[in-house]
Structure 1
Amino acid sequence: MAENSTPLLSVDKLTLAINSTGKRVVNDVSFSVSPGEMVGIVGESGSGKTLAARAIMGFIPPAVRRISGAIRFEGHDVMTMAPKALREMRGARVGMVFQEPMTSLNPSMLIGQQLDEGLALHRRLSAAERKALILDMLRRIGIRDPEGALTSYPHQFSGGMRQRIMLASVMLLKPALLLADEPTTALDAVVQREVLELMVDLTKANNTAVLMISHDLGMIARYCSRIIVMQQGDVVEQGLAQDLLARPQHPYTRKLLAAMPLRGPVRDLPKADTPIVSVRDLTVDYGGRQGFFRKEAPKRALHGVSIDVQPGEVVAVVGGSGSGKTTLGGAIAGLVKPSGGEIRFNGKPIDRSETAYWDYRLNCQMVFQDPYSSLDPRMTIGDLVGEPLRLVPGMARAEKARRVQEVLTEVGLAEGFASRYPHELSGGQRQRIAIARAVVRRPSFVIADEPVSALDVTVRAQVLELFAELQRKHGFSCLFISHDLGVVEQVADRVIVMHEGRIVEEGSRDAIFDNPRHDYTRKLLSAVPGLESTGDGGVRLFWRLSDGAGEAART
């Protein structure tokens, strides 16, 4: 980027407010993007980053109005453009990749139709020419059968492939500016890097500028040359990515960096003769789909998995989507029926017809990925947290109420929360309730399935610290399932790596992160940047492995 180049996009003192209340949700925001430049906007939910980006395309919701400011793209004020000019700009000159492709791809339209739609609208090409461009783009994004993809529907592809297709639909038109709103939030580490590298390649080929919106500072720092930090509608800091990470000036930026997961010290756990949970040769088969004239063979999700969890230990299970880690957690929790193998609790086999199974189910609790769907919206918080105590024999009602209040205090939600309902709480508060519900019976074993994947950076840090404090206080063992390797590095004592339903590597956290031996483990670690504290409030970004091989490469 030339130092004095004319900005492709210039946002000047933009202020947006809610019509009904007058509250400012974007306040005096100014920034610019030059041709071919990649700029990142970071901030927590409610910071105004997505609303500011959508305003660039004229997508301000009806409930929001512009108070002041201007948005100029290629010298034209977007806020005063005629509807026809806006339609010509959208897609052709400015493209947008949304957070969840399943909601932005039409589920009732074939992939070929959706990719053709923009080309037919904005390019004067024949049907044959458009098809040739689409097939070439599908090959470039890694679709194995481009011709077959044209006649497929979005639900027939994985999340990573859907995001690739969404990116292809935007880049087919070769826009001058790409707006990427949380483009990889729901993807595992390997797929995330593949999608981002693809985006970089496609945009570089066309000299497309990118405005990337995310709450993941590490990912933004890896791919963007400049970073803009937003808090509650204000731009609090912006600058070169490397300088901003190393020497943050604003307290909020320092808070975001301090909330990013970092490796803690190795815990000294007491030796135990018998694991709290022992799994041997566990297999799980899912029945194949049946039709009028055919029946698919069952799909094996777990292939003879064996693990041990020691008392007080936190064992993390990592792997890509479809690796079987959630199926493993569900089978251990009794939510998925195994096809074979054995589960032991405190050395005793678990049989659904035996008393031992009842004891195990009471002592094994689960924290789910999405607390909103796992908490009954018709029950109050007090009833939700207290529900597991109904099965405790001999516990008086007053004692149950005291226990509920005690655990709500432990998770930081004591004052007046017992009478509220789940919809009245934020995402972080709902996750605290899900944890409170899991620990209220004082279980000896907790399974946490992606418990912080949907949370902002600072809220995630608070929930992780809460979880660690409860684990230290009550001493329960934990199977921690996650695709976020930064979180795993912070919380785990031991790490199990799964791939295609099998354990490919396991060992202590430091052994796995510092000296991975299996190719898939190395691939996972090479996909995620590491963070080191600089000791003065900043962090330094580095890659643990260079292209999946060699020693840690710090940059």
Structure 2
Amino acid sequence: MSLLEIRNLTLEIARTDLAIVKNVSLSVEPGEIVAIVGESGSGKTQVARAVMALNHRAIRRRAGQSLFRGQDIFALPDREKRAIRGSQIGMVFQEPMTSLNPSLTIGRQLLEGLELHRKLTQQERLAKVAEMLRRVGIQDVDHAMRAYPHEFSGGMRQRIMLASVMLLEPALLIADEPTTALDAVIQRDVMELMVELTRSANTAVLLISHDLPMVARYADRILVMRSGEIVEEGAASDILARPQHEYTRKLLAALSWRGPARAVDMQQTPVIAVEGLVVDYGGQQRLFSRSQSKRALKGIDISVQPNEIVAVVGGSGSGKTTLGNVIAGLVPATSGRLLYDGKPVLPGASGYADWRANSQMVFQDPYSSLDPRMKIEALVGEALRHEKRINRQQKRERVAAMLTEVGLGEQFLDRFPHELSGGQRQRVAIARALICNPRFLIADEPVSALDVTVRAQVLDLFAALQKRYGFSCLFISHDLGVVEQVADRVIVMQHGEIVEQGSRDDVFDRPQHAYTRKLLSAIPALAPTAGGGIEMRWRQAAG
């Protein structure tokens, strides 16, 4: 008998009767890792939540069973469902900052499950929590127990989520996008930790993800979902090497590939350059003391040539985004200088307005960077507010033309951001940045929140617009696969310093620094196969 068996599950939106999961059946054996992959909106998360009958009340079950150890979860009384949740089936949610209670200490949250489901003394509970925190890589247990979620990085919060779930040694772990928005090294560390913890307890895993290379590395079986249906399933190696369904081949084709290197004239005057850039963040004032200041950037020197795309990569907290914000004028520098066309950029000096007009930024999350109260026409047209020679109708026509350039169209002019998908909002953000035809663009993690096919569309759009307009770009990303696709030159940062830089091919094929090798060891080199699949080769081990 399978540990988990979902039979003919159909879920629909109660208000409209629209089916969002259609006749889905799957099984998971003890100790097995089964992955469900697909685009956003394919129904992956709804299937995962249905395992424990955790779907929102607006989602109605039309048909189907969720059998855990032979018991239909849907048929159980609420009290028995609660006894199974956490104790026998654990779930790691996509965003740990929203699933951890911000008002409770980490210790309080970790102890809660043991108090509800295990008959232990307080001393035994504290000992188990301390042991689990050490297993997930947190050595200062006393500090962690007293700390709150916001005091940890994204990777550490995800480790804490894993610890809270695995404390109860569940028979089944459901992991819903457990590594989204984490950099390559932390992503690998979290996955390795999850596999280690589950295998030591013989825990089965139902893994929800759109990251096919990551899934291929850890899953035994893969199920591919599209529009609420499973369109293909099989062994992970077979699915990747010999996909049978057209949609699976489409997902694999959307992965990032390295194209031929472009020729960039390095003898010209750089569009922008920073010299000796230092940024210090002051410590926080406490009741009787002040915490220590932090040096986020430590003497950074970089330049970007005309028509060049320079990628800045590194782990969380390496200073990538701070560098982009300083260049954009959003964060003041402690020392150092910024040059535009070889001339210093100084507020109030001649040329400063020209620099501000020619330097634009695309932010990581378009939903938070686009004002929800403004329509798309106003959001994109806002960049034209300093152009006095165009009237309102000309401005509207120019915005409509720019929206068409980014693959949308004038039908989007009167919509609000919430009426657009994530990929469409990112296209609006790109249109807003490019409508003034700037010479320099800062793209801060522009595709990190998008699924694989939408990401491919946005990257293709970005490449086409860069070729057409010829702007230079500082491309900030933790996704080395994306960087390999778009960059001419790569800068590797660690702890606020540049540890390596060079052409894309030199950095990816002949890395010199140990940290660069560590980053590259976390991602595969991909090559297409004759059958429309992919072949993965894991890069050199970290040195």
Cα drift, residue 88 of structure 1 = 1.4
Q: Give the equivalent residue in structure 2 for 1:17.
A: 12
Match of 1:199 among 194, 203, 216: 194
The aligned runs of 1:100-499 (5 Å cut-off) are 100-499=95-494
Q: Which amino acid aligns with 2:384?
A: L
Q: How far apart are the structure 1 equivalents of 2:129 and 2:365?
A: 36
Cα drift, residue 158 of structure 1 = 1.3
Cα drift, residue 352 of structure 1 = 0.6
- For residues 527-553 of structure 1, what are the alpha-carbon distances to aligned partners after superposition, in whole Å with 9 as ceiling and x for unaligned? 12222111431101221123x14xxxx
Cα drift, residue 393 of structure 1 = 4.6
Match of 2:42 among 47, 67, 79: 47
Q: How far apart are the structure 1 equivalents of 2:217 and 2:497?
A: 31
- Conserved in 1, the CA contact under 8 Å of 2:401 and 2:410? no
**More deviation, 57-66/235-244:** 57-66
**More deviation, 300-309/394-403:** 394-403
Q: How far apart are the structure 2 equivalents of 1:297 and 1:241?
A: 48
SS at 2:298's partner residue?
Answer: strand
- Conserved in 2, the CA contact under 8 Å of 1:160 and 1:195? yes
Q: How far apart are the structure 1 equivalents of 2:421 and 2:60?
A: 25
Match of 2:517 among 496, 519, 522: 522
Q: Which amino acid aligns with 1:257?
A: L
Cα drift, residue 400 of structure 1 = 2.8
Q: Which amino acid aligns with 1:306?
A: D
Q: How far apart are the structure 1 equivalents of 2:100 and 2:287?
A: 30
Cα drift, residue 475 of structure 1 = 0.2
SS at 2:411's partner residue?
Answer: coil
Cα drift, residue 486 of structure 1 = 0.5
- For residues 180-207 of structure 1, what are the alpha-carbon distances to aligned partners after superposition, in whole Å with 9 as ceiling and x for unaligned? 0011102111111111100000000000
**More deviation, 534-543/164-173:** 534-543
Q: How far apart are the structure 2 equivalents of 1:145 and 1:71?
A: 40
- Conserved in 2, the CA contact under 8 Å of 1:226 and 1:240? yes
Q: How far apart are the structure 1 equivalents of 2:343 and 2:271?
A: 10
Change (3 A) 1:270 1:403: farther
SS at 2:98's partner residue?
Answer: helix
SS at 2:310's partner residue?
Answer: strand
- Conserved in 2, the CA contact under 8 Å of 1:159 and 1:187? yes
Q: How far apart are the structure 1 equivalents of 2:201 and 2:82?
A: 21
Q: How far apart are the structure 1 equivalents of 2:345 and 2:149?
A: 41
Q: Which amino acid aligns with 1:522?
A: R
**2:502 matched to 1:507?**
yes
- Conserved in 2, the CA contact under 8 Å of 1:505 and 1:518? yes
Q: How far apart are the structure 2 equivalents of 1:66 and 1:135?
A: 40
**More deviation, 98-107/444-453:** 98-107
Segments of 5+ residues of structure 2 without an aligned counterpart are: none
SS at 1:416's partner residue?
Answer: helix
Cα drift, residue 397 of structure 1 = 4.0
- Conserved in 2, the CA contact under 8 Å of 1:262 and 1:486? yes
SS at 2:412's partner residue?
Answer: coil
- Conserved in 1, the CA contact under 8 Å of 2:243 and 2:531? no
Segments of 5+ residues of structure 1 without an aligned counterpart are: 1-5, 550-555
- Conserved in 2, the CA contact under 8 Å of 1:301 and 1:501? yes
- Conserved in 1, the CA contact under 8 Å of 2:86 and 2:170? yes
- For residues 424-461 of structure 1, what are the alpha-carbon distances to aligned partners after superposition, in whole Å with 9 as ceiling and x for unaligned? 11111010000000000000000000000011111110
Q: Give the equivalent residue in structure 2 for 1:67.
A: 62
Q: Give the equivalent residue in structure 2 for 1:32.
A: 27
SS at 2:119's partner residue?
Answer: coil
Cα drift, residue 271 of structure 1 = 4.7
- Conserved in 2, the CA contact under 8 Å of 1:364 and 1:443? yes
Q: How far apart are the structure 1 equivalents of 2:42 and 2:297?
A: 42
- For residues 249-295 of structure 1, what are the alpha-carbon distances to aligned partners after superposition, in whole Å with 9 as ceiling and x for unaligned? 11111111111111111112345420111111101111111134212
- Conserved in 1, the CA contact under 8 Å of 2:493 and 2:500? yes
- Conserved in 1, the CA contact under 8 Å of 2:524 and 2:539? yes
Cα drift, residue 398 of structure 1 = 4.2
SS at 2:46's partner residue?
Answer: helix
Q: How far apart are the structure 1 equivalents of 2:64 and 2:371?
A: 44
Cα drift, residue 114 of structure 1 = 1.1
- For residues 24-63 of structure 1, what are the alpha-carbon distances to aligned partners after superposition, in whole Å with 9 as ceiling and x for unaligned? 1110001111000001001111111101110101112211
Match of 2:73 among 71, 78, 85: 78
Q: How far apart are the structure 2 equivalents of 1:404 and 1:58?
A: 46
- For residues 401-427 of structure 1, what are the alpha-carbon distances to aligned partners after superposition, in whole Å with 9 as ceiling and x for unaligned? 332122111011114111111111111
Q: How far apart are the structure 1 equivalents of 2:430 and 2:222?
A: 34
SS at 2:114's partner residue?
Answer: helix
**TM-score, normalised relative to structure 2:** 0.98
SS at 1:406's partner residue?
Answer: helix
- For residues 104-138 of structure 1, what are the alpha-carbon distances to aligned partners after superposition, in whole Å with 9 as ceiling and x for unaligned? 11111121111111111111111111111111111
SS at 1:391's partner residue?
Answer: coil
RMSD in angstroms over aligned alpha carbons? 1.2
- Conserved in 2, the CA contact under 8 Å of 1:272 and 1:311? no
Cα drift, residue 377 of structure 1 = 1.6
Cα drift, residue 234 of structure 1 = 0.3
Q: Which amino acid aligns with 2:61?
A: R
For these two proteins, the number of residue pairs brought into alignment is 543
- Conserved in 1, the CA contact under 8 Å of 2:400 and 2:410? no
Change (3 A) 1:493 1:535: farther
Q: How far apart are the structure 2 equivalents of 1:85 and 1:288?
A: 49
Q: How far apart are the structure 2 equivalents of 1:180 and 1:401?
A: 46
SS at 1:281's partner residue?
Answer: strand
Cα drift, residue 514 of structure 1 = 0.7
Cα drift, residue 102 of structure 1 = 1.3
Q: How far apart are the structure 2 equivalents of 1:271 and 1:527?
A: 31
Q: State the identity %.
A: 62
- Conserved in 1, the CA contact under 8 Å of 2:183 and 2:315? yes
Runs of 4+ aligned structure 1 residues displaced above 4 Å come to none
Q: How far apart are the structure 2 equivalents of 1:242 and 1:136?
A: 35
**More deviation, 68-77/307-316:** 68-77
Q: How far apart are the structure 2 equivalents of 1:522 and 1:496?
A: 13
**More deviation, 461-470/393-402:** 393-402
SS at 2:505's partner residue?
Answer: helix
**More deviation, 380-389/253-262:** 380-389
**More deviation, 164-173/391-400:** 391-400
Cα drift, residue 247 of structure 1 = 0.9
**More deviation, 63-72/459-468:** 63-72
**TM-score, normalised relative to structure 1:** 0.96
Change (3 A) 1:400 1:272: farther
- Conserved in 1, the CA contact under 8 Å of 2:48 and 2:174? yes
**More deviation, 138-147/500-509:** 138-147
